[in-house]
A = this chain, B = another copy of it.
Amino acid sequence: MAKAPVLTPQAEDFPRWYQDVINKAGLADNGPVRGTMVIRPYGYGLWERMQREMDARIKAAGADNAYFPLFIPQSYLTREAEHVEGFAPELAVVTHGGGKELEEPVVVRPTSETIVNEYFAKWVQSYRDLPLLINQWANVVRWEMRPRVFLRTSEFLWQEGHTAHATYEEARDYAARIHREVYADFMENVLAMDVVLGRKTARERFAGAVNTLTLEGMMGDGKALQMGTSHELGQNFAKAFDTRYLSKDGGRELVWQTSWGTSTRMVGGLIMMHGDDHGLRIPPRLAPVQAVVLAIKGDDAVLAKVREVGDRLAAAGVRVKVDDRTDTPFGRRAVDWELKGVPLRVEIGPRDLESGTAMLVRRIAGGKEPVAADALAELCPRILEEDQALLLRLSRERREARTADVRTVEEAAEAAAGGWARIPWADLGPEGEARLAEQGVTVRCLVGEDGSVPGSDDAPGTVAVVARAY
Query: Interface on A for B, CB 8 Å cutoff?
Result: 29, 31-33, 36-41, 44-45, 47-48, 64-73, 76, 88-99, 105-106, 108, 115, 118-119, 122, 128, 134, 138-139, 141, 143-145, 154-155, 157, 327-328
A144 and B89 CA atoms in complex are apart in Å by: 29
Q: How far is the CA of A93 from the CA of B89 in the complex (A)?
A: 19
Say yes or no: A69-B118 contact (C-beta < 8 A), given A41-B64, A97-B92. Answer: no
Chain B proximity of A104: nearest CB distance (Å): 9
Known: A64-B44, A93-B94, A134-B41. A69 touches B32 (CB 8 A): yes
Q: Sort A-B residue pairs by CB-CB distance and give the 6 closest, nearest first.
A: A98-B143, A41-B64, A36-B69, A39-B67, A31-B69, A93-B96
A271 to B: closest C-beta gap in Å: 17
* A99 CB contacts on chain B under 8 angstroms: 88-89, 91, 143
The distance in angstroms between the C-alpha atoms of A328 and B125, with both chains bound, is 14
A32 and B97 in contact (CB under 8 A), knowing A38-B66, A327-B128? no
User: Taking CB as reference atom, which chain B residue is nearest A67?
Assistant: B39
Q: How many copies does the complex hold?
A: 2
Enumerate chain B residues within 8 angstroms of A96, measured Cβ to Cβ: 91-93, 95, 105
Chain B nearest Cβ from A25, distance in angstroms? 14
Alpha-carbon gap, A99 to B72, bound state (A): 16
Expressed in whole angstroms, the Cα–Cα distance for A65 and B143 within the complex equals 25
CB contact under 8 A between A32 and B128, given known A48-B65, A69-B155, A96-B95 = no
A-B contacts, 10 listed (Cβ < 8 Å): A31-B68, A32-B69, A33-B72, A37-B69, A40-B66, A44-B67, A70-B155, A71-B92, A108-B108, A138-B139
User: In the complex, A327 Cα to B126 Cα: how many Å?
Assistant: 13
Q: How far is the CA of A95 from the CA of B90 in the complex (A)?
A: 14
Q: Could you say which residues of chain B place their CB within 8 Å of the CB of A76?
A: 32
Q: How far is the CB of A8 from chain B (nearest CB, A)?
A: 21
Tell me whether B33 and A106 are in contact (CB under 8 A).
yes
Nearest B residue to A31 via CB reads B69
Given contacts A32-B72, A128-B327, A138-B139, 9 further A-B contacts (CB under 8 A): A32-B76, A41-B66, A41-B134, A71-B141, A93-B96, A94-B94, A95-B95, A98-B143, A139-B139
Task: Give the distance in Å from the alpha carbon of A32 to the alpha carbon of B40 in the complex.
Answer: 34
Are B97 and A94 in contact, with the CB atoms below 8 A? no
Question: Is A90 a contact of B94 with CB atoms below 8 Å?
Answer: no
Contacts of A36 in B (CB 8 A): 69-71
Interface-central residue, A65, A67, A115, A144, by most chain B CB under 10 Å: A67
Q: List residues of chain B with CB within 8 A of the CB of A108.
A: 70, 94, 108
Q: Return chain B residues, CB-CB under 8 Å to A115.
A: 31-32, 38
A232 to chain B, nearest CB (A): 23
